[in-house]
């Protein structure tokens, strides 16, 4: 059964736009390798972090909406934890109007 998920990632604001696009492509390929389907991608832009993460006080936020089976978020969590470029990420399952937390790296 397919579910709809939202993935929010925070990358270092020091990365170039080309590097951020490469990271998003890696994320999309990881989702598709687990038989998921990316439905939307949004850039939220550069924002100040509430506290420093890996010596970064600013981060670049992106959101990826995708459809996948219920086991995909755990597999993606394992893959994303190995990506040093990601400061933080959070995967949420959308249920109609409700959104529930599935996994995060912290």
Instruction: Output the pLDDT for position 102.
Output: 63
Distance between CA 66 and CA 40 in Å, rounded?
A: 7
Mean per-residue pLDDT pooled into runs of 10, the chain (106 residues) = 90 91 94 93 93 92 94 91 91 73 60
Instruction: Output the pLDDT for position 84.
Output: 87
Residue by residue, DSSP assigns the chain as --EEEEEEEEEETTS-HHHHHHHHHHHHHHHHHTT-EEEEEEEEEEEEEEEEETTEEEEEEEEEEEEE-TTHHHHHHHHHHT-TTEEEEEEEEEETTEEEEEEE--
Instruction: Output the pLDDT for position 106.
Output: 55
Answering whether pTM is above 0.75, one says: yes
Domains for the chain: give ranges and CATH numbers: 3-97 (3.30.70.60)
């Amino acid at each position: 059964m397919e579910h709809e998920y939202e993935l929010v990632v925070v990358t270092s604001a020091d990365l170039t736009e080309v590097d951020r696009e490469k990271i998003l492509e890696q994320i999309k390929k990881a989702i598709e390798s687990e038989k998921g389907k990316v439905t939307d991608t949004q850039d939220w832009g550069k924002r100040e972090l509430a506290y420093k993460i890996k010596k970064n006080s600013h981060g670049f936020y992106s959101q990826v909406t995708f459809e996948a089976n219920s086991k995909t978020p755990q597999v993606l969590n394992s893959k994303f934890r190995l990506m040093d470029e990601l400061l933080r990420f959070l995967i949420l399952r959308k249920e109609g109007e409700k959104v529930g937390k599935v996994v995060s790296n912290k």
